[in-house]
Amino acid sequence: MTASQLNHKGYVQNSTFNRTNVGLGAGTKLAIGLNVRGNFAYTRSVQNGGYFGDVQVGGSSQFARTLFLNRAWDISGLPFEDKLGNEMHPGPAGFDNPRWAAKYNVNNTVNERTVMGVRFDFNITKWANLAYNVGSNVANIDRTEVYEVSSRAASGQGSLTTDKYKSHEIESNVLLTLTPKLHSDFSFKAIVGQSFNQRTNTRQANTGNIFIVRGIHKLSNTKQQIFSADLYSRRRLIGAFADLSFGYKNFAFIEVTGRNDWSSTLPANNRSYFYPSVSTSLVFTDAFKIQSNILDYGKIRAAWAKVGNDADPYSIFDTYSIGSNFLGNGTASLPFQANNAELKPSLPKKLRSVLK
């Protein structure tokens, strides 16, 4: 088990970064010969800070705003807010006081990631092993952006943006490993398996404009709300594969692989695709028993492979996206890129070989 805590304070006012890590791993062997292993890791980071480099002329970037200040002004000793917290501008309109912006125009990002997995393996015989792995990877990002009332950004009336993103990936594999002893001069290893992968992504982003009460940073405290993003996608990939390795006297080797995938992002009649590979290698210094002060080890290898790939989710049909309200009416629009109902997997037209 491991645990760590990092607390960092930036040199810019109201800028911090805190991170917590916890990890746990365990394993055991049952009386029936089954090996069980598991791991768990959790990370949570919280970052606070201002707007750096974003919206260079819009009034929000702290560093860019200093370009508009007179170099002879010492803003460190000048007041930058009144008793109510409203901004006192040190010069012409069009930018925020960097000290005031560092205190009130802030970003807050909470990033959480949880990774866990379990593995089971069992020796069926001395030369046959069956293993199963399943794991999950979950990432959550919760971001809040605030422009306080009296800021030059958001017309001085304040705004709040909340952005929530979640990614969840599930992966499982079944592996059968065979290592029979054929002959003293020959070696053989075979791996046959099946895999499943699922990726789900969601995002919800909302913007609220014009704070009703200053200092309360909630969407319910704004007069205008906009649904900036409401996205969902899911992708599934199922595969079956085999890896065969042959060796002769530990200096000549042949490896053959093959995999077939079925993807949910392709049309039903095109979602299956196969891609193999073949490679051979020869350690010629061992094969011909070369002994030289110049060459200690020499190997030649030739390989040929074919690769395949699917598409991004929802690339088959053109569908309308529902937009925000416009003058009391709903909106819908088609994507700028046309989708293809006859989409095919990405496979190379020409075969490529590698010799080295």
pLDDT of 353 reads 44
DSSP designation for 338: -
Q: Write out the two tokens for 222.
A: 């704004």
pLDDT of 65 reads 67
Of all helices (H) and strands (E), which one includes residue 33? none
Of all helices (H) and strands (E), which one includes residue 76? none
pLDDT in tens, the chain (356 residues): 999 999 999 988 889 999 999 999 999 999 999 999 999 999 999 999 887 654 555 545 677 767 767 777 777 777 888 888 888 865 555 577 888 888 998 899 999 999 999 999 999 999 999 999 999 999 999 999 999 998 888 888 999 999 999 999 999 999 999 999 888 899 999 999 999 999 999 999 999 999 999 999 999 999 999 888 889 999 999 999 999 999 999 999 999 999 999 999 999 999 999 999 999 999 999 898 888 888 889 999 999 999 889 999 999 999 888 776 667 677 888 888 889 999 999 887 654 444 44
Prediction pTM value? 0.84
Torsion sign, CA atoms 304, 305, 306, 312: negative
pLDDT of 94 reads 59
Pure H helices in the chain? 62-65, 98-104, 284-287
pLDDT of 92 reads 53
Amino acid residing at 195: S
CA distance 331 to 309: 35
Contact call for residues 107 and 48 (beta carbons, < 8 A): yes
Q: Write out the two tokens for 23.
A: 């990890």
Q: Write out the two tokens for 228.
A: 């900036």
Beta bridge partners of 305: 277, 352
CA distance 34 to 55: 58
pLDDT of 349 reads 65
